[in-house]
Amino acid sequence: MADIDTPFSRETATPLTAAEDADLRTGRSNRKRAFLIFGGVVLAVALVAGGYRWATGGRYVETDNAYVAAEAAQVTPLTSGAVSRVPVVDTQLVRKGDVLVELDQSDARLALAQAEAEYAQALRRVRQTFATGTSLASQVGERDADIARMTAQMAMASADLERARIDLSRRQALASDGAVSGEELSTARNAFASAQGALAAARAGLAQARAARGSAQGQEAANAVMIEGASAETNPEVLAAKAKLDRARLDLERTTVRAPVDGVVTQRTVQVGQRVATGATLMTIVPVAQAYVDANYKESQLRKVRPGQSVELVSDLYGEDVVYKGRVIGFSGGTGSSMAVIPAQNATGNWIKVVQRLPVRIALDPADLARHPLRVGLSMTATIDTKDK
């Protein structure tokens, strides 16, 4: 029968040899040592983390609820027409001023030609009005001369009438003595009547000359109002035609739709042959070189966050090997839930408090973006240094 202190094998229930017993004891010692080392490492990590947090005092606030964004520009035509060419495709990088869409120019060119003709016609008409002003001034001078002539004629007719009146009076006085024949008296009477008619005609001619001068003066005044205070090029009628011409030229230029900013073409929906209306969205240009990050921090994390503080950001695209430098530039005017299409109704009886998140806008270093480009919507991890500033 085996000794009671002799070790047995668990598999066979047979006594172990001295070597086997030594190996068993060594394995148990190694496992115990490994457990002690693991516990020490865990304790050390906990002590380091606790010490770091105590030393920094919650200096850094971090969130992985952050996404790349940019002020995308929607491309819309400022005039309607049929699309004749679309030289860009989705994902293409374009520069400001590059041609994105070309519309058919036939209608615009016809409108421009008509506007040019109307402008030329208005300019000639106004120049004619200026020339008419000089002619009307001459006519007023002519009417003044007519008045002077008719005034002289009336004076002569008045003198003739006075002379005929005197001759008639003398002959009438002599006729009673028979010194003047009846024929001579009749002649004197006819001369007097003729002088009266001549004076009446001279007066009518003077009145007519004065009326003609008044009419000429009125026409001159009306013409002067049309050209007063302006040259032919600055006349209101010409300026109106010029504005219409400029509008036609602008409409022709707008048949070529150009990129408003540098960026990447996205969501291109326009096709050749399609007729587009003014204001219709043709595509979107995303200015990736001006991208920023909207980081949605919990409200409890924002106590010490201020605009201007530095931020370190890591993207899921490049991993932790690429660290972007950024800076806090502002806070949203409301939390995400309050700006939702259907905001939460917290007045209900079954309300449960939920920690809210507030979007914080972070500007990225342009140099970092140039080295490692980002796209809108990519995930980021943002860490704000609240001790900065």
Sign (positive or negative) of CA dihedral 193, 195, 199, 204: positive
**Can you give the pLDDT at residue 387?**
86
In a domain, 114, yes or no: yes
In the structure encoding, which two tokens stand for residue 278, read together?
Answer: 């003014």
Counted domains in the chain: 2
Q: Which residues of the chain have pLDDT under 70?
A: 1-25, 27, 49-58, 130-141, 171, 173-182, 185, 216-232, 389
Q: Give the amino acid at 130.
A: F
Predicted confidence at residue 50, as pLDDT, reads 66
Q: What is the pLDDT of residue 2?
A: 44
Residues 243 and 195 in one domain: yes
Cβ–Cβ < 8 Å for 270, 96: no
256-311 pLDDT, tens digit per residue, is 999 999 999 999 999 999 999 999 999 999 999 999 999 999 999 999 999 999 99
Helix (H) or strand (E) run with residue 266 in it? strand 263-266
**Residue appearing with tokens 């230029």:** 253
Contacts of residue 202, defined as CB under 8 A and 6 or more positions apart, other chains included, come to 150, 153, 154, 156, 157, 158
pLDDT value, residue 102? 96
Whole-angstrom distance, CA of residue 334 vs CA of residue 202: 95
Note down the domain range covering 165. 108-249
> Which pLDDT value is given to residue 48?
76
Would you say 297 and 358 are in contact if contact means Cβ atoms under 8 Å apart? yes
> 222 and 135, same structural domain?
yes
Indicate whether 334 belongs to any domain. Answer: no
The verdict on 79 and 180 lying in the same domain is no
Q: What is the pLDDT of residue 350?
A: 76
Same domain, 92 and 190: no
Residue 338 lies in a domain: no
3-state secondary structure of 75: strand
Nearby residues of 113 by Cβ (< 8 Å), 6 or more positions away: none
Residues 245 and 114 in one domain: yes
Same domain? For 89 and 184 the reply is no
Q: Classify each residue of 130-141 as buried b or exposed e, where b means 16 or more C-beta atoms within 10 Å of its C-beta.
A: eeebeebeebbe
Please report the pLDDT score of residue 35 as a whole number. Answer: 77
Which pLDDT belongs to residue 310? 95
Whether 235 and 113 share a structural domain: yes
Q: Is residue 166 part of a domain?
A: yes
Residue 216 CB: number of other CB atoms within 10 A? 20
CATH of the domain at 278: 2.40.50.100
Residue 359 in any domain: the answer is: no
Three-class SS of residue 34?
Answer: helix
pLDDT given at position 241: 92
